[in-house]
Amino acid sequence: MLKIAGVQFVGQADKEANIRTAARLVRQAAAQGARMVCLPELFSTMYFCVETRREYFAWAEPIPGPTIERMVALARETGIVLIAPIFERAPDGRFFNTAAVIGPDGALIGKYRKSSIPFMDASRSSEPRGNEKFYFSPGDLGFPTFETPFGRIGILICYDRHFTEAARVLGLGGAEIVFVPTATTFMTRYLWDLELRAHAVVNIYYVCGVNKVGVDVGGSARNHFGNSMVINPRGEILAQASDAKEDIAIAEVDLTVIPELRTLWGYYRDRRPDQYGPLLDAVAPPASRAAA
Amino acid sequence: MLKIAGVQFVGQADKEANIRTAARLVRQAAAQGARMVCLPELFSTMYFCVETRREYFAWAEPIPGPTIERMVALARETGIVLIAPIFERAPDGRFFNTAAVIGPDGALIGKYRKSSIPFMDASRSSEPRGNEKFYFSPGDLGFPTFETPFGRIGILICYDRHFTEAARVLGLGGAEIVFVPTATTFMTRYLWDLELRAHAVVNIYYVCGVNKVGVDVGGSARNHFGNSMVINPRGEILAQASDAKEDIAIAEVDLTVIPELRTLWGYYRDRRPDQYGPLLDAVAPPASRAAA
């Protein structure tokens, strides 16, 4: 059996403080037996995307780069697979919301760049909302899966989780566990379990959702709800972290149930790729009659 | 405001009995104000697919054909949009699990043929399971939406609901309400709300799931759980029918919330069709390491 964990903590404007907190919690999860650990979205910064300030671009780093090098050392020290999401500055001058995947030997196995980038109208809510299109280009790496010594994993970052196409591509790519580093607020609380559980059951893999928690120190009033969780392919929540404070969601997963459940249900046998063409059409949906 | 309904009843080996029961419940739903009514999967027969008996092919009918002509008269009489799923015999000798869509003027607006056809291994469960591949060809009509006088609708039939690609194509096609005629058993009870609610929230439309209920008279021991329900685009269950007996799930829906929610969330803006290519590849997923 394999133990996996998501660690959540309150973000700070001070990058060094975030890195130290993350390292402490990763060591704690590893001491509890976790062999794969995922950090929240943009773990090394607070969730800065509410504001549109050019100086925040200075927080971006290359991958590999100083923060990821420290995560490489941490993964090697603890012998785990570490999923470390940061603000990435690409060599070509673009910026991405990216998760690095690091092996227990310290190898950089790969990275995933957030594919769908939100921009929510703050006037619709009293809650501070993310203007991520100011910072991030939409990811250009597709939806890769990563072979690790402990299992094949995929990643969806925050808003990506609302896109069932992305979740399915990961299943088709053989993902056994999908990690979902996130920075989301109480406005979406009612969707959190529902969407993550649905991805798990229809694609037949484990899901580990990892959310930021609380209000960033030195940031916006945005309040993240935590509730990091591990879900099995039957949609059952195996572990769930606090909705208010630093915490670890850790659970044992049994990857051998996946092929069994996949042949039981037949979903991968009975898909109809010949009929899914409209999913690739770059057209807007027709206006609904209600809008007309 | 628009009222929609799903009607559920216990199936019988006697086709005429099913048609009479359906007509009685449709009139009852219309009398309660429903302007769209959906019948369960294969409404005019019991769920015969547990057994593989060639004589059951005699129950199939063309569309239009005798049963659908009676549904046409019923839709015209009650002034409703009627979704009537039957066992279809196509002119070319193939058979389909098909739903006819009939307008309030009695026009046959169109039909949808179930796209994904299940074949569940009965040895895995004490429950009688469906061997539908013996009877039905996989549908060849894609995932159409149908413009009706009361709104644009789409249809998923039973097992189709496990395929998020299909649900998304309906959203892209402008579906405001997706009807899901079904004949499913307590083995899948834990998936029913979860998957239907998830379709509603990620695609932003209403969902009306309509399940058979009870044990068919003259059929297998298969026990259908009913629980027909209407769900709004926030994933809230507006109406839910009995899990044990004939019943109607009826609720008011407000189609004007759909464009509002779609611009709020931005999902249709931020999809990445350029990255979804693998959804159309006709390849098997790689074997998971657990199976290796």
Q: State the pLDDT at residue B290.
A: 42
Rg (CA), chain A: 18
Kindly report the nearest CA distance between residue A236 and chain B, in angstroms.
Answer: 10
Euclidean distance between CA atoms B21 and B44, whole angstroms: 9
Q: Which fold has domain B2-266?
A: Nitrilase/N-carbamoyl-D-aminoacid amidohydrolase (3.60.110)
Among all residues of B, which ones are annotated catalytic? 41, 114, 158
The answer to whether B119 faces chain A, any CB pair under 8 Å, is yes
For residue B93, count other CB atoms closer than 10 A to its CB.
7
Asked if residues A192 and A225 have their Cβ atoms less than 8 Å apart, the reply is yes
Which site among A155, A163, A254 would you substitute to test the B interface, given the most B Cβ atoms closer than 10 Å to its Cβ? A163
Alpha-carbon distances, residue B169 vs A155, A291, B38, B268 (angstroms): 23, 19, 20, 11
Tokens 């013996």 locate to B134
Contact list, A273 vs chain B (CB under 8 Å): 279-282
pLDDT of residue B128: 82
Check CB contact of B264 with chain A, cutoff 8 Å: yes
The model's pLDDT over B171-214, given as tens digits with 9 standing for 90+, comes to 999 999 999 999 999 989 999 999 999 999 999 999 999 999 99
| Residue pair A176/B288 in contact by the 8 Å Cβ criterion | yes
Q: What is the mean pLDDT of chain B?
A: 95
Strand ranges (DSSP E) for chain B?
2-8, 36-38, 81-89, 95-102, 108-113, 145-148, 151-155, 177-182, 206-211, 213-215, 223-225, 229-231, 237-240, 247-253
Compare B257 and A291 and report the one with higher pLDDT. B257
In sequence order, what are the residues at sequence separation of 6 or more whose Cβ sits closer than 8 angstroms to the Cβ of residue A96? A88, A90, A113, A114, A136, A137, A139
A158 is catalytic: yes
Kindly tell me if the per-residue pLDDT of A285 is higher than 60: no
Q: Contacts of residue B195 in chain A, CB cutoff 8 Å?
A: 198, 201-202
- What was the pLDDT predicted at B24? 98
Interface contact B189, partner A, CB < 8 A: no
Q: In this structure, is the dihedral angle defined by the CA atoms of residues B170, A233, A231 and A67, taken in order, positive or negative?
A: negative
d(CA A148, CA A151): 5
Question: Per-residue pLDDT for A265 more than 50?
Answer: yes
Contacts of A234 in chain B (CB under 8 A): 190
Which of A116, A148, A152, A164 to probe by mutation at the B interface, max B CB count within 10 Å?
A: A164
Using a CB-CB cut-off of 8 Å, the residues of chain A touching B256 are 290-291
Q: Is A287 on the interface with B (CB under 8 A)?
A: yes
**Local structure of B3: helix, strand or coil:** strand
**What average pLDDT does this structure show over A204-217?**
98
Nearest CA in chain B to A205: B288
Q: How far is B249 from B238, CA to CA, in rounded Å?
A: 9
Query: What are the angstrom distances between the C-alpha of B269 and each of A118, A163, A283, B199, B286?
Result: 9, 11, 10, 17, 31
Q: State the pLDDT at residue A129.
A: 83
pLDDT tens for each residue of A148-191: 999 999 999 999 999 999 999 999 999 999 999 999 999 899 99
Helices (H), chain B: 15-31, 66-78, 164-172, 189-203, 257-265, 267-270
Kindly state whether B123 is in contact with chain A, defined as any CB-CB distance less than 8 angstroms.
no
Domain coordinates of chain A in residue numbers? 2-266
- Measured between beta carbons, which residues in chain A are less than 8 angstroms from residue B147? 289
Dump the DSSP string for chain A: -EEEEEEE---BS-HHHHHHHHHHHHHHHHHTT-SEEEPPTTTTS--GGGS--GGGGGG-B-SSSHHHHHHHHHHHHHT-EEEEEEEEE-TTS-EEEEEEEE-TTS-EEEEEE--S--B--GGG-SS---BGGGT-PPP-S-S-EEEETTEEEEE--GGGGG-HHHHHHHHHTT-SEEEEEE--BGGGHHHHHHHHHHHHHHHTSEEEEEE-EEE-BTS-S-EEE---EEE-TTS-EEEE--SSS-EEEEEEE-TTHHHHHHHHH-HHHH--GGG-GGGG---PPPPPTTT-
Using the beta-carbon criterion (under 8 Å), do B272 and A163 form an inter-chain contact?
yes
Beta bridge partners of B145: B154
Going by C-beta distance under 8 Å and a sequence separation of 6 or more, which residues neighbour residue A281?
A: B172, B273
Q: Which chain A residue's Cα is nearest to B130?
A: A265
Q: How far, in Å, CA of B275 to CA of B277, rounded?
A: 6
Quote the minimal CA–CA distance from A21 to chain B in Å: 32
**Which residues numbered 238-257 in A keep a CB inside 8 Å of some CB on B?**
255-257
CB proximity list for B96: less than 8 A, separation 6 or greater: B88, B90, B113, B114, B136, B137, B139
pLDDT of residue B292: 35
Residue B244: DSSP 8-state? S
For residue A188, the number of C-alpha atoms closer than 13 Å in the C-beta half-sphere is: 27
CB-CB contact of B87 with B113 (8 Å): no
pLDDT at residue B267 greater than cutoff 90: yes
Would you call B17 an interface residue with chain A, using a CB distance cutoff of 8 Å? Answer: no
Q: Which of A114, A176, A195, A208 is catalytic?
A: A114
Mean pLDDT value across residues A124-141? 88
Residue of B nearest to A167 (CA): B164
Cα of A14 to nearest chain B Cα, Å: 31
Which positions in chain A touch B194 (Cβ < 8 Å)? 194, 197-198, 201, 235
Please report residues of A whose CB lies closer than 8 A to that of B117.
270
Angle between helical axes of B189-203 and B164-172 (0-180°, round to 10): 30
Give dist(CA B272, CA B276) in Å, integer: 7
Give the residue on B whose Cα is nearest the Cα of A168.
B279
DSSP conformational letter for B58: G
In chain A, residues with a C-beta closer than 8 Å to the C-beta of B196 are: none
- Residue of A3, A15, A38, A41 with catalytic role: A41
Cβ–Cβ of B142/A234 closer than 8 Å? no
In which order are the strands placed within the sheet that holds A2-8?
Answer: A108-113, A95-102, A81-89, A36-38, A2-8, A247-253
Between helix A189-203 and helix B189-203 the angle, nearest 10°, is 120
A38 is an active site residue: no
pLDDT of A275 higher than 70:
yes
Q: Which amino acid is at A60?
A: A
Contact flag B190-A151 (C-beta cutoff 8 Å): no
Closest Cβ–Cβ partner in A115, A176, A285 for B174: A285
> Strands B108-113 and B95-102, how do they pair?
antiparallel
Q: What are the pLDDT digits (tens) for B69-84?
A: 999 999 999 999 999 9
CA distance A279 to chain B (A): 6
Nearest Cα residue to A161 out of A231, A256, A249: A231
* A287 has a pLDDT exceeding 60: no
Whole-angstrom distance, CA of residue A196 vs CA of residue A189:
12
Distance CA B180, CA B162 (A): 11
Set of chain A residues whose Cβ sits within 8 Å of the Cβ of B278: 142-143, 169, 172-173
Question: Which among B169, B173, B195 has the least Cβ separation from residue A276?
Answer: B169
Q: Looking at the predicted structure, is the pLDDT value of residue B284 above 60?
A: no
Dist. CA A212–CA A11, nearest whole Å? 7
- Mean pLDDT along residues A203-223: 96
Angle (deg, nearest 10), helices B15-31 and B66-78: 20
Mean pLDDT, chain A, rounded, equals 95
Query: Tens digits of per-residue pLDDT, A53-72?
Result: 999 999 999 999 999 999 99
The confidence score (pLDDT) of residue B26 equals 98
User: Which residues of chain B from 210 to 239 reach within 8 Å of chain A, CB to CB?
Assistant: 234-235
Distance of CA B150 to the CA centre of its chain: 18
Answer whether B195 touches A (CB < 8 Å).
yes
Q: pTM here?
A: 0.95
Angle among Cα B156, A262, A199 to the nearest 5 degrees reads: 60
Tokens of A199: 């991805």
Facing residues of A181 across strands? A210
Measured CA distances, B223 to A98, B29, B176 (Å): 48, 24, 31
For residue B31, count other CB atoms closer than 10 A to its CB: 9
Reported as a pLDDT band with limits 50, 70 and 90, residue B289 is very low
